[in-house]
Amino acid sequence: MFWLVRGSDLFLFLHLLGLFCFAYIVARRLAPLLRAQRDFRFDRPLARLGRLLQFWLAQWRHPRYRFAGALHILIFAGFLLLASRAFAVLAMGISDRFAGHPGGLYDAVRDYASTVVFLCMGIAIVRRLAFAPARYGRRSADAIFLLALIGILMAADGIFEGSHAAFHARQGTTAELFPPLSLPWAFELAFSSAPLAALVNLHLGAYLTHEVTFFFLLCYRPFGIQFHVETSLFSIYFAKLDRGTVKPVRWGVADEQLDAVPSFGVKKIEDFTWKHLLDFYSCADCGRCADQCPANAVGRPLSPRALTIKTRDYLFRHYPVFSPSSDGVPLAGGLYSEDEIWSCTTCGACEAECPLLVEYIDKIVDLRRGLVDDGKAPKPLHKPLKSLESRGNPFGKMEKKRADWAQGAVKILNGGGGADTLYFVDSITSYDDRIQSIGRATARILDSLGEEFGILGAKERDSGHDVRRFGEEMLFQALRGHNTEAIRSSGARRIVTADPHAYNALKHDYRDMPPVEHVSEVVARAVRTSKIRLNAVENGVYSYHDPCYLGRHNGIYDDPRDVLDSIPGLRRVEMKRCRDRSFCCGGGGLALFYEAKEEQRMGVRRVRMAADAGSSVIVTACPFCMVNIEDAIKVAGLEGQMTAIDLAELVDRQMVKAS
Amino acid sequence: MARIFAYIVHKSGVADDTAAELPVAARKIDPAQHCTAIVTGWGGDLDQVCESLRSSYSEIWRIAQEPLAYPNAELVRKALLNVLPAGSIVLVPHAHFGVDLSPGLSIKMDAAYLPDVVDIESVEGDWLRAVRQEFGGQVSVHMRCNISSGAVLNIRPGAFRPSESSAAAGQVLDKSADVGALTARRRYLETVAAEMGDVDIAKEPVLISIGRGIGEQENIAIAEDLAEAMGAAVSCSRPVVDAKWMDKSRQVGSSGQTVRPKVYLACGISGSFQHLAGIKGNPFIVAINKNPKAPIFRVAEVGIVDDILEFLPALAACVREESCVPGKERQRS
Amino acid sequence: MEILVCIKRVPDTSENEIQIDGSGTDIARDDLVYSVNEPDNYAVEEALQIVARTGGNVTVVTVGGEEDEEILRREMAMGATRGVMISDDSFQGSDGRGIAAILKAFVQTGHYDLILTGVQADDGSAQVGGMLAALLDYPFASLVTSIEVLEGRKLKIGREIEGGSREINAIDLPCVLSIQTGINEPRYVGMRGIRQVASVPIPTLGAADLGVEPELVGAIAAKVKRTGYFVPPAGKGAEILAGSREEVVNKLMDLLKAKGGLN
């Protein structure tokens, strides 16, 4: 078409201008990443590619919210299908050679794809305006603007094609046949009686509109949440592979060299790693993380999404594309309140939910490291931290009394070949009057399974799991060093624990440890191999509460359920929020001491969920869950209607004891 | 035996309760002596105090100087040094003023210093035997103190119960002129009164008082619930205020409010003397504490060894039901 | 401003149950956890906050032995510029006055504008600060809960008095103040901070270095001595209500009704 060729120089210029702008903007956006901390994310490419296929291509997380998920999958599929079309349209402006042949399967698919995307934009806009779920917050104007632009892009393409076909139809020359009910088909129909001159103008206008919209979107996306269109590929590829761990203080700095590091943790924006900054760019503001976050649900000042969005805005201000950099406020105590940073229980619900695999726990831990480095640990934690340092437990109890719970009935391992299995008890089970019964139950279970086992006794220290997650890295390392030595000299070849926090620490935070199992895994195996028989229960409706560090962080969901299901007569119901959507009880370790500002306790919310499910017994598999839930039952006024029992205690109670 | 003086603390023309206690301690040091009261101040307030002391002291030394209108320990010390005979024994109440005055006074007098004395045992030659406490009152200590060149003894308020006064028609001797010009490198400016909160615990007849044993700020609701059931008010000890869980106006103690209730429930309070110093009027004290060895059990009339977080709700439930039959089924936690 | 803070290592009373040892001459110390005396820690934090505003240095000093070094390091990790250990066999058995004399000798080896102590330590004597001031002839104030630096080598300080009120004074420098808990919120000292000062040298000064007068120190000079620890006999004490919780509640209800505790 001759008028296309005449404009080709203009369009070429526009294309190059658009690309240049985009490149410049992306370069500016990359600038802070180049000044950020290192992050080792280039290893295990196959595993990373696998995740890319799972989470990016297959949109694995999206269906967790059905309607929005379906919409997004359609839109995403549409984008992928239309990708080459978009480039083809741009190329058409430069040279006739790209006009392409009409018809064919790709074109039909393409036409339907753009129609579907167009319709989805409409649905999405209406949804945002009239049926917006709470998690969307109040940022609608920008989102609607962008949705509308995409709709315009689809429509412009449709008009471009439709006007072209109508023109040819009027002239009698062959034109492509559009699949029925597709956008270009609809436009062709609409233009069937339009004057030729108008069609030419529509065609040209649509093309310009398409081009301008395309490049506008391209260059506008890096200024807001739509940047995820580009960055999602990278945020998912580079996402963290090792669950349950916490990042080192500095990647590439060994523990022995940490004393030389001038500053710990995140105090200014460049203290984040480049992947974390990329995360801030990649957030699509969908609000799913905040929707699942227990801290947010109970009114603590923490919302993961809000943290990300405001940090992204901070990055935009601190490293702007156009204007000179404006001085930012400090991070902790400025952009974030200290309470906000201490409110997180590290439950991982946010990370389990995010479709872009944005990470939160490492960022919170790094921010806490920064605060602790500056002497700003919250006052209620000073005492337990001091006790952990001087006594190896947060309660201030004497080291020599650590094994008193066992009442002399459990062997203390001294490395003299006492036993192959070490039962790592950890602090709360050792010292808390109520929780000691979990320890005794576990010991009896191991005994009755014929396991030769022992405990470290007074040589055991707190695992330090939550000391680390509350930012006191060096105290954690001291505890870990002590325990590692004690475990090595015990001669144990296998570790069992009933404490998911200890389990997670030994499995992921400690190095070169013998294999670790949680007692629920041990019992489940015994059930499967018929090594244990359990008596029936008479009444009660049981719900299993997934502890965060057993379930979400370590993927152990079925073993505890299998154990419960093997008890004859036990009626089990699932709470609505279960498995990887389990609702945190309130946190363990140091979280027990932190006084959060909240409207309600997490535990209270959780027991109400159990009550709603119709249960009368909550079974849990974590001593901290037990503390929080038993407390919550009282606070919620459900005493007499609901009880809590630990899985080990239940098994111990129902176990058919060997004579 | 050296001459014994009792330093009188007073406010707004009224002598502190300790004024009646010091002579009892003095009597234990030297039964053969009536100790002399020594009072500093200015104006009508001072005169009023001296007048009131005449029924319990046979001799009262009055030091009236305008700079002494407000008891500035630096100035008082200078005044006393000019007036006290060498080698005297001076008894001072161990409280805000006493800890300010006495250590320096003992140095300047070149005398021994024994703070916070709870009992006088005997005098053997140059050595006075007395009892103190350490580690927050957890243990008591026998002390001996060389009084050959005099002594300053800070006496714990309330440790010596005042007996019926035996002296009468005491003489007031004016020693103001002996003092000389008084200046110091510390000057009193003003007193900032504590903000009164919503509840004036000093006026409440029944107090539910909580201490460190309450554990967490949220648990205070348990005490408030009991208070509501009983028509009482909630007060507290120092650690609760330090943790910023309750307002200072609720603190009972030597650095807080002085209360005169009829009934005082000490819940999870160890019973440090600073706290007990704020309880006057000999109320019915009930102590509830997990630790059977807590010092509070020595001063309470009735003691309950239990976890307050369990006991107080049980008590509140009973109060509300108004009739509790023993053995009646109650929801156990 | 050059600030000196005198600190003491004491058994942590909130973490320990204090009991008397077999001989009755001391408390049982085997299982005790020690730390810096809490009011002293507040004093160091206050000193650090003052020099953050005015410039200067904070020195921490303690009279003791090798095992007391850890608290100097902890306060240095908190931010004190230097720590000094004063140790000598002849100091053993000193009474409060003896300790004050030793500290006085140390103070006179340097130039300090302000000297802080905690209001009291494990023995509850609350004496060293006041004695030190008198020996140095410096003005003194105890139970300080606020410090404001004024022009012309003066401070405006608040003291805690009865009823929760505060007594405001102006005091000239150099002076000695004893600091009450609650004056500020001491910063957290993490393991990392302690490791960073682990190899900073802490000088130890003895009697000869300080030129301390021997007549005032040591057991011989002490005018005040402990002769034995004991737990006072229960005496009358409280009548402990026995029985199940329900029974105890009922008994208490009867007593409360009788004593007018129920409205």
Interface of A with B (CB under 8 A): 379, 595, 634, 639-640
State which residues form the domain around A515: 395-524
What distance in Å separates the CA atoms of residue A581 and residue A255, rounded to the nearest whole number?
34
Residue A118 reports pLDDT greater than 80: yes
Which of A547, A474, A454 is CA-nearest to residue A504?
Answer: A547
Indicate whether A50 belongs to any domain.
no
Indicate whether A178 belongs to any domain.
yes
A540 in the same domain as A514: no
Confidence tier at A620 by pLDDT (50, 70, 90): very high
Question: To the nearest whole angstrom, how far is the Cα of C80 from the nearest Cα of chain A?
Answer: 14
A192 in the same domain as A301: no
| CB atoms B217 and A639 under 8 Å | no
Residue A2 reports pLDDT greater than 50: no
Question: Which candidate from B216, B243, B331 shows the least CB-CB separation from A639?
Answer: B331
Instruction: State pLDDT tens for residues A89-98.
Output: 777 777 666 5
Task: Give chain C positions within 8 Å (CB) of A472.
Answer: 190-191
What distance in Å separates the CA atoms of residue A432 and residue A451, rounded to the nearest whole number?
25
DSSP states of chain C: -EEEEE--EEE-TTT----B-TTSSSB--TT--EEE-HHHHHHHHHHHHHHHHH--EEEEEEES-GGGHHHHHHHHHHT-SEEEEE--GGGTT--HHHHHHHHHHHHTTS--SEEEEES--TT----HHHHHHHHHT--EEEEEEEEEEETTTEEEEEEE-GGG-EEEEEEESSEEEEEPTTSS-PPP--HHHHHHTTTS---EE-HHHHT--GGGSHHHH-SEEEEEEE-----S--EE--S-HHHHHHHHHHHHHHHT---
B4-162+169-177 to CATH, choices 3.40.1180.10, 3.40.47.10, 3.10.290.10, 3.40.50.620: 3.40.50.620
Which of A302, A300, A317 is CA-nearest to residue A363?
Answer: A302
| CB atoms C260 and B96 under 8 Å | no
What distance in Å separates the CA atoms of residue B271 and residue B211, rounded to the nearest whole number?
9
Parse chain B into domains and list their residue ranges: 4-162+169-177, 201-321
Higher pLDDT, B108 or C246: B108
- Alpha helices (runs of H) in A133-173, residue ranges in sequence order: 140-171
pLDDT computed for residue A143 by the predictor: 86
- What the block records as the tokens of A183 is 């956008």
Fold observed for domain B201-321? Rossmann fold (3.40.50)
Task: Give chain B positions within 8 Å (CB) of A434.
Answer: none
Burial of B217 (0-12, 13-18, 19+ CB in 10 A): middle
Parse chain C into domains and list their residue ranges: 2-221
Inter-chain CB pairs, A–C, below 8 Å: 54
A131 in the same domain as A198: yes
State how far the alpha carbon of B294 is from the alpha carbons of A398, B138, B157, B212, B214, in Å: 19, 8, 20, 12, 15
Mean pLDDT of C49-53: 96
Domain count, chain A: 4
| Interface predicted TM-score (ipTM) of this complex, two decimals | 0.90
Instruction: State pLDDT tens for residues A525-573.
Output: 999 999 999 999 999 999 999 999 999 999 999 999 999 999 999 999 9
Question: To the nearest whole angstrom, how far is the Cα of A593 from the nearest Cα of chain C?
Answer: 15
A7 in the same domain as A88: yes
Amino acid at B10: H
Q: Which domain-ending residue is among A474, A489, A524?
A: A524
Instruction: State pLDDT tens for residues A282-336.
Output: 999 999 999 999 999 999 999 999 999 999 999 998 888 887 776 667 888 889 9
A158 in the same domain as A189: yes
Test the B interface: residue of C169, C185, C251 with most B CBs within 10 Å: C169
Higher pLDDT, A637 or A466: A466
Confidence tier at A397 by pLDDT (50, 70, 90): confident
Q: Is B331 on the interface with A (CB under 8 A)?
A: yes
What distance in Å separates the CA atoms of residue C151 and residue C105, rounded to the nearest whole number?
29
Mean pLDDT of C25-33: 87
Task: Give chain B positions within 8 Å (CB) of C21.
Answer: none
Instruction: State pLDDT tens for residues A333-360.
Output: 889 999 999 999 999 999 999 999 999 9
| CB atoms A390 and C35 under 8 Å | yes
The DSSP bridge pattern shows strands C224-230 and B139-146 to be antiparallel
Instruction: State pLDDT tens for residues A227-247.
Output: 999 999 999 999 999 989 999
Task: Give chain C positions within 8 Å (CB) of A376.
Answer: 187-188
B125: left (phi over 0), alpha (psi -120 to 50) or beta: left
Instruction: State pLDDT tens for residues B204-232.
Output: 999 999 998 888 888 999 999 999 988 89
Q: What angle do CA A252, A256, A260 make, to 5 degrees?
A: 80
Instruction: State pLDDT tens for residues B265-284.
Output: 999 998 887 788 889 888 99
Interface of C with A in 70-89 (CB under 8 A): 78
pLDDT computed for residue B294 by the predictor: 83
Interface of B with C in 215-274 (CB under 8 A): 230-232, 241-242, 248-249, 251, 254-258, 262-263, 265
Q: Is B203 on the interface with C (CB under 8 A)?
A: no
Q: What's chain B's average pLDDT?
A: 89
Task: Give chain B positions within 8 Å (CB) of C129.
Answer: 103
Q: Is A389 on the interface with C (CB under 8 A)?
A: yes
Task: Give chain C positions within 8 Å (CB) of A386.
Answer: 35
- What the block records as the tokens of A436 is 């000691």
Residue B325 reports pLDDT greater than 50: no
State how far the alpha carbon of A209 is from the alpha carbons of A11, A155, B154, in Å: 12, 10, 92
Instruction: State pLDDT tens for residues B287-323.
Output: 999 888 788 888 899 999 998 998 999 899 888 885 4
The chain C residue lying nearest A378, using CA atoms, is: C188
The chain A residue lying nearest C34, using CA atoms, is: A390
Test the C interface: residue of A255, A263, A338, A382 with most C CBs within 10 Å: A382
State how far the alpha carbon of A50 is from the alpha carbons of A58, A229, A356, A360, in Å: 11, 19, 15, 22
| CB atoms A396 and C15 under 8 Å | yes
Q: Quickly tell me which residue has 């294309």 as its tokens.
A: A15
A444 in the same domain as A298: no
Higher pLDDT, B77 or B193: B77
Percentage above 90 pLDDT, chain B = 61
Question: To the nearest whole angstrom, how far is the Cα of A245 from the nearest Cα of chain C?
Answer: 21
CB-CB neighbours of A49 under 10 Å: 11
Q: Tell me which range, A101-115, A415-429, C61-75, is most confidently predicted by mean pLDDT.
A: C61-75
Which of A384-398, A462-476, B121-135, C15-29 is least confident? C15-29
Q: Which domain-ending residue is among A524, A541, A567?
A: A524
Q: Is B193 on the interface with C (CB under 8 A)?
A: yes
Test the C interface: residue of A386, A431, A470, A594 with most C CBs within 10 Å: A386
Q: What angle do CA C24, C121, C176 make, to 5 degrees?
A: 145
Q: What's chain A's average pLDDT?
A: 91
Which of B234, B218, B316, B298 is CA-nearest to residue B267?
Answer: B234
Q: Quickly tell me which residue has 């959060």 as its tokens.
A: A596
What distance in Å separates the CA atoms of residue C198 and residue C247, rounded to the nearest whole number?
57
The DSSP bridge pattern shows strands B284-289 and B263-267 to be parallel
Mean pLDDT of C241-255: 89
Question: To the nearest whole angstrom, how far is the Cα of A25 from the nearest Cα of chain C?
Answer: 41
Interface of B with A in 217-276 (CB under 8 A): 217, 243
Q: Is C187 on the interface with A (CB under 8 A)?
A: yes
SS (H, E, C) chain B: CCCEEEECCEECCEECCHHHHHHHHHHHHCCCCCCEEEEEECHHHHHHHHHHHCCCCCEEEEEECHHHHCCCHHHHHHHHHHHCCCCCEEEEECCHHHHHHHHHHHHHHCCEEEEEECEEEEEECCEEEEEEEECCCCEEEEEEEECCCCEEEEECCCCCCCCCCCCCCCEEEECHHHHCCCCCCEEEEEEECCCCCCCCHHHCCEEEEECHHHCCHHHHHHHHHHHHHHCCEEEECHHHHHCCCCCHHHEECCCCECECCCEEEEECCCCCHHHHCCECCCCEEEEEECCCCCCHHHHCCEEEECCHHHHHHHHHHHHHHCCCCCCCCCCCC
Residue B80 reports pLDDT greater than 90: yes
The answer to whether the beta carbons of residues B31 and B43 sit under 8 Å apart is: no
Q: Using CB atoms, list chains with 3+ pairs below 8 Å to chain C.
A: A, B
Element (H, E) at A454: strand A453-454
The chain A residue lying nearest C188, using CA atoms, is: A375
The answer to whether the beta carbons of residues A581 and A372 sit under 8 Å apart is: no
Q: Using CB atoms, list chains with 3+ pairs below 8 Å to chain A.
A: B, C
Question: To the nearest whole angstrom, how far is the Cα of C145 from the nearest Cα of chain B?
Answer: 12
A462 in the same domain as A363: no
Mean pLDDT of C231-247: 80
| CB atoms A475 and C15 under 8 Å | no
Homologous superfamily of C2-221: HUPs (3.40.50.620)
Indicate whether A249 belongs to any domain.
no
Mean pLDDT of A191-214: 86
CB-CB neighbours of A77 under 10 Å: 15
Interface of A with C in 247-286 (CB under 8 A): 258-259, 264
Indicate whether A243 belongs to any domain.
no
Supply the DSSP symbol for A514: P
Q: Is A390 on the interface with C (CB under 8 A)?
A: yes
pLDDT computed for residue A111 by the predictor: 87
pLDDT computed for residue A101 by the predictor: 60
Task: Give chain B positions within 8 Å (CB) of A595.
Answer: 216-217
